[in-house]
Amino acid sequence: MAGSKQILFLCTGNYYRSRYAEELFNFYARREALPWRAFSRGLAGKVPPENVGPISRHTLEALQKKSIVPEGAERYPLLCSLADFELAQFVIALKEAEHRPLLLMRFPGWESRVSYWHVHDLDVAKPAKAIAMMDRLVLDLIRNIKASS
C-alpha cells in the first residue's frame, strides 16, 4: 500500500509467530481502512532447519479458521536486516526473553527501540494458546492505532 506506515513483527525463524501476526494485522488493517501494513522477519542467524516449507501449518490453520487467506503463504521465511528496521515506524518482537538477546547480538542498539510481546514458541506453548494471545495483542494494536488516528 503506497504511503502506508510499516510495522515489523519479529520472531526467531519468521515461520510461525511473526508470520501469523503479520497476516492477522494486515487483514484487520485493510478491513478498518488503516494506512498501516505489517511485514515480518526472523532474528536467527540462519533459518532454523525444523522449519519445513514456507510457513507454519499452525499459522495457516489458524488463519483458515478465521477465513483469512494469507497473502504471503508462498513466501519462505526471511531473516532480518538493518534495512528492515529503517523501513518500519514500529517494531514488535514476539517474545522479549527470546528476542532481546538476539537483537543485542545481531543489531546492537535496537533492543531498546523495539516493543516486546510475550508470546511463547511451540517449545513452550501449544499453538491454540499462543495464537489466542496473538489474536488479542493484534486486536489491541489495531484499536490503539485507530484511537490515535
pLDDT for 55-89, tens place per residue?
Answer: 999 999 999 999 999 999 999 999 999 999 999 99
Cα 142 to chain centroid, rounded: 14
pLDDT on residue 1: 43
> What is the model's pLDDT at position 2?
52
The DSSP bridge partners found for residue 116 are 93
For the beta carbon of residue 81, count every other beta carbon within 10 angstroms.
12
Cα separation, 75 vs 71, in Å, equals 9
Q: What is the pLDDT of residues 1-24, one digit of tens each?
A: 457 899 999 999 999 999 999 999
CATH class of 5-148: alpha beta
| Residue 25 CB neighbours (<10 A) | 26
Single-letter residue type at 108? P
Residues β-bridged to residue 31: none
Nearest to 81, CA basis, from 124, 50, 43: 43
